[in-house]
Amino acid sequence: MMKEDHCVYLKWSNNSFIILSLYFDSILIARNDKEMIFTTKRWLSSNFEMKDMGEANYVLGVKIIRDHTKRLLGLTQETYMTKMLECYYMQDNKPMVTPIDKSLSLSHDMCPKTLEENRKCP
């Protein structure tokens, strides 16, 4: 279990890892080793009543996009945003570019490191 989140479990074995994320009665599993996921699912199903729903397409309103050939994983909230725009009658608004320097590169080193630095941030 991760100290930061009591609903996320992480297991390492050699160069393989598996992450289990729990949300109410659902488990989302991410891994880098297919055999490890099969072993984990077998163990879970032998200890708990469960149903394998296959690959997740949506989790908490976030759409999961996969490109197995390129080994890419993406997330989008487009459906959620569309629903929010419709809810507030803003679906006909025109999109615009957010003014930001596209050459700007953010890094972890730029984050506040002390409580005082953190207080200065909006």
- Per residue of the chain (122 residues), what is the pLDDT tens digit? 556 667 888 888 888 899 999 888 888 998 888 888 898 999 999 999 999 988 899 888 899 999 989 988 899 998 888 888 898 889 998 888 877 787 888 788 888 888 887 777 65
Q: Please give the pLDDT value at position 44.
A: 92
Number of structural domains in the chain: 2
Q: Do 71 and 81 belong to one domain? A: yes
13/59 same-domain check: no
Query: pLDDT value at position 31?
Result: 85
Q: Specify if 70 maps to a domain.
A: yes
Residues 72, 41 share a domain: no
pLDDT of residue 75: 92
In a domain, 122, yes or no: no
Three-state helix/strand/coil letters over the chain: CCCCCCCEEEEEECCEEEEEEEECCEEEEEECCHHHHHHHHHHHHHHCCCCCCCCCCEECCEEEEEECCCCEEEEECHHHHHHHHHHCCCCCCCCCCCCCCCCCCCCHHHCCCCHHHHHHCC
pLDDT at 3: 62
pLDDT at position 47 is 94
The pLDDT of residue 122 is 55
For the entire predicted model, the pTM comes to 0.57
Same domain, 69 and 24: no
Domain of residue 2 covers: 1-53
Residue 72 and residue 40 in one domain: no
Q: Are residues 49 and 2 in the same domain?
A: yes
